[in-house]
Structure 1
Amino acid sequence: MAQQQYKGRLTYAQGTYVEFVVAPNQDVDFGDILVVEGKNNDRFYVRAYDFKVKSRWSGMNGVSYLMSKLDENGQIVNQEELDFYLGGNHTVKIGLAEQLCYADHNGQLFNPKTCPDFFCEVRGLSSKDTSLLKEMKGDLEIGFLKSGRTVLELPVGIFGSKAITEHIGIFGTTGSGKSNLVKVLSSSIIDNGNYGLLIFDVHNEYYRDLSQHPKFHDRLVVYNTNPESRHNVRKLALYCDEIEPEDITACATFTEPQLDAIYKLSSVWHDRWMECVLKYDTQDIIEELHECTGQKFQARTISKIKSICWNLEQELNISDTQPNEKASIAMQMMKELEEGKVVLVELKNISPVGEQALSTLLSKKLLQHYAGKTDSERSHLKPVLIVLEEAHRFLGKKELTSQNVFARFVSEARKFNLGLCVVDQQPRLLADKVLSQLNTLFILGLASKADRSKLEAMCRKDILQQRNEIKNLDCGELIVATNYMRFAAPVKVHKFDEFLTRKFQ
């Protein structure tokens, strides 16, 4: 990394707000992270968020005087004379910045405790700023620190042990780099080996890239309902007794009588309820329910349930009751996740109904699996993160009221060493309760002001002063805000192919 570069001098400070004069011939951009050198070997880390230009001619009288040097068409009459008025020490560029954190003479970091003195030197980041850089490195690398238009070769990541169980949000419009970020994060998890990862791959876009990882044979497992002949891809299949009413009600819209019938079927036939729905005729089911519960359901009510169950049976390779628990593909997945593997469930060839049923079932199984362990047993299991794409379908304002498994995940999973990674294009569609529980946010480019405002209101870190920066993020650039970092950091995410090449060359 380049050594420190002189940027200017501090001219004003109040609380965490500072102003500095930008040195001549120096560039300072929106989002630049700078260092104000204190007088006792302490350092103040600040971020520039706006600029203004001041001159002895800035007042109306001065402007009128300068305008008199132009001809009737507004063109310069005497360039040399005008350069004298506009150049030299007559004009200055003022940077407006917010203090991010403070390091004492021992290098220990604190939240802002005081403000720097007048006319202290302002410089760029350098290799001397190890205390700040160490806090941002993490054990799951995602990219390099970005300062203004400059990308510094300083790795930035998250600490999985802190971030995974406290839930993560990845937000950005189409083309902003969400998929690449998930691939890079997945690659870091594969390399690390201390965390499990369950990805519901809606578009089957991750296998091709993640299979390039040198450790993919040992730590990546892929499931597909029709695996064809790809290496490390297993056939996804389920058994009827693994399907619970909640898995069905989460994947389609049912009327009150239909919901009532589903739960009545479960109470009558218990684990075999779906097997019986598929096996028996509509009229036989109606009569059995009437005999056992005293209720007589209409044929179209039962037909709707039979139709949904039949579709799921075909799509998800559901067969009759399993011979033993060891034969369950779902339980096999749970074992792989607790061992710290990345489990990729491909959903491209599955309908939205099947996709929602499968996502709900596997997430519920994982929650039950970890919740059923003692604290001692759980301490030997790896923390697991679930990646949920297009999350508003499961965690929108209306969906959350149904208390589905993902709603429980948000509120309960942390104590069981589980976490949720919510990926979405429109965070405003998510329930406020969900956004408030996401302690780590990756904010990529967002075109909608409503989306940006929603994240500003819900983010644990104050990102109001980064509005200009967030608004102008390019593809692959993001702001990461997490609980244990002292400020929201700008990052240039690695391109997946380049990341693998650099790391394993």
Structure 2
Amino acid sequence: METEYKGRLTYAKGASIEFVIAPNQDVDFGDILVVEGNNNDRFYIRAHDFKVKSRWSGLNGVGYLMSKLDENGQVVNQEELDFYMGGNHTVKIGMAEQLCYVDDKGQLLNPKTCPDFFCQVRALNAQDSSLLSEIKGDLEIGFLKSGRGVLTMPVGIYGAKSITEHIGIFGTTGSGKSNVVKVLASSVIDSGNYGLLIFDVHNEYFKDLSSHPMSRERLCVYHTDDKQYGKTIEVNFSEVGPEDITACATFTEPQLDAIYKLSSMWKDDWMRYALQYDAKDIIDELAGCTGQKFNSRTIGKIKSICWNLEQELHVKQEEATVISQIITELEQGKVVLVELKNISPVGEQALSTLLSKKLLNNYAGKTEEERSQIKPVLIVLEEAHRFLGKKENSSSNVFSRLVSEARKFNLGMCVVDQQPRLLADKVLSQLNTLFILGLASKADRSKIEAMCRKDILQQRNEIKNLDCGEMIVATNYMRFAAPVKVHKYENFLQQRYAGYVPVPPII
């Protein structure tokens, strides 16, 4: 089999590698290459820096060449300079790190040793099947990227390993975060082995996901206003707890105290009674039961928030709501899309908190045997710093509980954000899989480097120069952080389904 020769190894110490790049060969930042060992073993390396060496590289040599220039730094005698610069004594050195190692039996291992002097360095090819099995996964995302080239090696994540251990998708506006979510959702639809709950803040997923050939069986759409497609969200008064209210707005200490006392006093009917009775009657009732006198403005703020939520979430007394139906669909391995664009931030945060809390309580309340009969579920939360920021992160926050506790219940969080530095450190440390797209801010890149489970310091140049649709995938079970060219959603479906036409069907 023809291999693309790239050069020869000239130095190795631990996981650090240096090699001479062959003449007329290109090696770029981030190129993944193979060092062919002397014992039929192979070493996978990634180039992260370069330097040029010559017999004139020393200080004396440079000084001698400079003497051949005039006072303006221009060549005095080109023919004489060409004579000194000619020959085969100038070399380009690639500096790389060892990623992993394949022994003579084909077993993939963490770096165990280093290659011998002057071993051949080549490009990746079909022989490298051990590496392919490591990064392929059952939820495909894109193709392996090596330098400026893209290889036809599919890269994805293993849902059983990644979903319950939480995922972070980080990138600036225009870097391709939405396309990553669409491709991930498409792979989940194809698989049928996982549930996916997407809170769609900008209503940007329905058009594409509904065009998936299997959307009729595995995509369920909900919204908060009457539309021709999907189902309208309806909530029962008894389903709304005090934490759903406190998560969606800023309250003072007396207002928080009043909310929890109302809940304690009226149980499941607290929100209905808070809307039904006048502020004066509520104040008198609280004073009679608790001996505490509340201000009318305190009760007025609570009644105002409750009224807004009643209108936006269609809160009613009827017992039949869609929440139990949503949970059942997720347990069956379907993608549930909740559109949130047409409601206020207050309603959006309350609904996200309410659904996530019900899902967590449902999974936590099941026995191990019952959980083995249902699918693991991933919750996709956009603009996550609003829920999991440094100030918002607390023990009473359901999303904080999901990040710290949900793994044992077969639930996972997918945190999507433009500015990872705004997230609480405790949250970032729990994300075992990171999709790192283009990040313009040095502070964001530094935060990711500090919190990533894999050492990505040598990929700084690569991360800094990521184009739209390119990312680094770092996950616990992969032996290295893999550069990926993410599939464009339409092209991905065309590859999988012959005759696919990107026109959304009527649901």
TM-score normalised over the length of structure 1? 0.97
Higher mean alpha-carbon deviation, 73-82 vs 278-287, is at: 73-82
Is contact 1:4-1:123 (8 Å) kept?
yes
Quote the residue 1:22 is aligned against.
21
Rounded to whole Å, the distance in 2 between the matches of 1:107 and 1:222 is 46
Equivalent residues in 2 for 1:203-352 (5 A)? 203-230=202-229, 233-320=230-317, 322-323=318-319, 327-352=320-345
Amino acid at match of 1:456: E
- Which aligned pairs between 1:27-38 and structure 2 lie closer than 5 A? 27-38=26-37
Q: How does 1:335-374 map to 2 (within 5 A)?
A: 335-374=328-367
The match for 1:122 is 121
Aligned sequence identity (%): 77
1:475 aligns with 2:475: no
Once the two structures are superposed, residues 167-203 of structure 1 have per-residue CA deviations (whole angstroms, 9 ceiling, x without a partner) of 0000001111101100110111011110000000000
Match of 1:147 in 2: 146
Structure 1 Cα separation of the partners of residues 382 and 63 of structure 2: 58
Amino acid at match of 1:153: T
Query: What residue identity is the alignment partner of 1:236?
Result: I
**Contact conserved, 1:146 with 1:492, CA < 8 A, in 2?**
yes
Is 1:417 the counterpart of 2:410? The answer is yes
Kept in 1: contact 2:31–2:146 (CA 8 A):
yes
2:495 matched to 1:496? no
State the aligned residue count.
Answer: 498
Q: SS of the residue aligned with 2:175?
A: coil
For the 8 Å contact 1:201–1:348, the answer to whether it is kept is yes
Deviations 1:57-102 (A, max 9, x none): 1112212222233344433344444344334311000000000000
After superposition, the C-alpha distances for 1:234-262 in whole angstroms (9 at most, x for unaligned) are 11111111100000011111111111111
Counterpart for residue 177 of structure 1: 176
SS of match in other structure, 2:64: helix
CA distance in 2 between counterparts of 1:259 and 1:88 reads 80
For residues 303-355 of structure 1, what are the alpha-carbon distances to aligned partners after superposition, in whole Å with 9 as ceiling and x for unaligned? Answer: 110000001111111112x33xxx22111100000000000000101111111
- C-alpha distance in 2 between matches for 1:208 and 1:236: 19
Distance (whole Å) between structure 2 residues aligned to residue 193 and residue 221 of structure 1: 13
1: CA distance between counterparts of 2:86 and 2:181? 49
CA distance in 2, matches of 1:350, 1:185: 26
How far did residue 498 of structure 1 move? 1.0
Task: Name the CA shift for 1:406/1:24 in 2 (closer, same or farther; >3 Å).
Answer: same
Q: Which blocks of at least 5 consecutive residues in structure 2 are unaligned?
A: 499-507
* Equivalent residue number for residue 192 of structure 2: 193
Q: Is the 8 A contact 1:3 1:127 kept in 2?
A: no
1:461 maps onto 2:458 in alignment = no
Runs of 4+ in 1 over 6 A off after TM superposition: none
Task: Give the Cα–Cα distance (whole angstroms) in 2 for the partners of residues 159 and 86 of structure 1.
Answer: 53
3-state SS of paired residue (1:53): strand
1:278 deviates by 1.0
* 8 Å Cα contact 2:34/2:45 also seen in 1: yes
Residue number in structure 1 paired with 2:43: 44
- 8 A Cα contact 2:54 2:89, kept in partner: yes
TM-aligned CA deviation for residue 268 of structure 1: 1.1
CA contact (8 A) 1:196 1:337 kept: yes
CA distance in structure 1 between the partners assigned to 2:342 and 2:286 by the alignment: 35
Q: Distance in 2 between matches of 1:3 and 1:156?
A: 24
Question: Does the CA contact (< 8 Å) of 2:243 and 2:396 recur in 1?
Answer: no
Distance, in Å, in 1 between the alignment partners of 2:80 and 2:161 is 61
- Paired AA for residue 244 in structure 2: D
- Unaligned segments of structure 1, at least 5 residues: none
1:396 aligned partner, one-letter code = G
> Any idea what SS the aligned residue of 2:164 has?
helix
Q: Is the 8 A contact 1:163 1:439 kept in 2?
A: yes
Which residue of the other structure, out of 476, 479, 482, is the alignment partner of 1:486?
479
- 1:436 partner amino acid: S
Distance (whole Å) between structure 1 residues aligned to residue 238 and residue 324 of structure 2: 13
User: Does 1:98 pair with 2:97?
Assistant: yes
Q: Could you tell me the TM-score, scaled by structure 2's length?
A: 0.96
Contact 2:395 2:401 in 1 (8 A): no
Query: What is the Cα deviation at residue 295 of structure 1?
Result: 1.7
Contact 1:339–1:382 (CA under 8 A) maintained in structure 2: yes
Gap change, CA 1:304 and 1:402, over 3 Å in 2: farther
